[in-house]
A and B are shown apart, each in its own frame.
Chain A
Amino acid sequence: MKAKFKGSKLLTILGSIAALYTLFPIYIMVVNSFKGRADIFTNTMGLPKSLDFSYYLSAIQKMNFIKALGNSLLLTIVSTVLIIILSSMTAWVLVRSNSKISNAILYMFIGTMLVPFQSVMIPLMQYMSSWDIKAINFSMIDSYYGLVFMYIGFGSSLSIFLYHGFIKGFPRSLEEAAMIDGCNKFQVFWRIVFPNLKPITVTVAILNVIWIWNDYLLPSLVLKSPSLRTIPLSTFYFFGEFTIQWNLAMAGLVLTIIPIIIFYIFSQKYIIKGVMDGAVK
């Protein structure tokens, strides 16, 4: 009994050390975002002498933070919602029709999950910039609908794969009954099938939100106008400009991770479950 007690105490100590190590960079970032220039260089590790929010105010202004936050939210939500709608519909039909063609389509989606983004990015940019109609100001490059279009393309494989696996284990009797009652396919899907997909929809949503929210490479290639910048993009340009002013840079970084922490606190259970489902593919 005594040995067991000691063992669990030791584990708690080890766990705390690991937790401190994990949180240490975040601590350093937060305390230094309040310090004056001299204080940063002589007292990097300690607490700030006063809570000076001036670097935050200045970072919000210089990063155009509110705008970037709105942009990131809009882009992430619209892309994720469209990915969910389109890939759940597609996966359902692919499962239920179960023909040679539908299997071929499924394998095409799954097979390309292997293709790294870097292998298609160069031709993709050239191809998308050729979709350009000057007369109506339509362009896939430097526009949100262009970027959303590309997110749907890259996000659909994994989402269809996850939906497909989930729907496969579902009885079709309910759908058939609804058909007999005179529902058409759209009604069957939205009234009967989709509500039952909730657990996997949460997983698909979480995985896509984390990916799109943090993605830097694709928006950096597609978006050119500063007013369209998302959080990772504005952080990148802001950091490049203010590396010498560490307090300002740290305040900017704290701002960028606040939304993530809020999201994490409220949906930790779903996030961890989503990550498990997504990885065990």
Chain B
Amino acid sequence: MNKILTIAFNTYRESIRNKVFYIIIVFAMFLLSCSLILATLALGEDDRIIKHVGLSAINIFGLLMAIFVGVNLVYDELEKRTVYTIIASGVKRYEFLFGKFLGLFFTVGVNILIMGFMLCLLVIAWPDCSLSATLVLAILLFLLEMLVISAIAILFSSFSTPILSAVLTFMCCVIGHMSEDLLEWSKRLSEQGSAVFAKVLTVIYYILPNLEIFNLKNQVIYSEDIGSIGHHFITYPIYAIVYSGILMLIAILSFSRRDFK
């Protein structure tokens, strides 16, 4: 475990010393500032606009960070051969990959928590806004989404180039947010007699993650009661951990017998 944590911490340190990290943070702050400007323009809608723009910014920048930092992590180690001396130090390949994954999640998680904290402060400070438990839960659920996205990015990064990994991870994220639509579409196709396409969509639905379950934006904006889905706050973390675990297992299997060039 010590080796995994050492690699995770080093990955985190690499990310925070990478200028891209700061650019993303600055952009997030910029977007939060935009929400303030928009809020002053839309009279009486301050609360909704600040929360909507703020949560969207956290989600988008968290996603961008997970993708752009994640897809380069393993690839760079192999390309620059920094992995050689690590493996030669007696670190197992699964320890290396898992350390990279934890480091990425920690980097993205810290970023999301900082942005979330800033949003909460803004909501508290703004006269017509109120901080709700739903808002805090929405931010915490983003962490679970990032856990899954980090695992997807590491999986692709372990066997393909950064550009391809970024495209594939982004596609998984987009489709993952349309998961319920896929099922609906599959049902319609089935009713229309296109059984094969319906089956394909059903398979995609079950293979790709359902990221929309981690999205509480509407509930936050419209101050909906989340009591009815309250029990899912136990199942959602389990879903995220198991799904990420399976992805990491696949990544480790493909990584463990691979020749590093």
A, B from the same assembly = no
* Residues of chain A whose beta carbon lies under 8 Å from any beta carbon of chain B: none
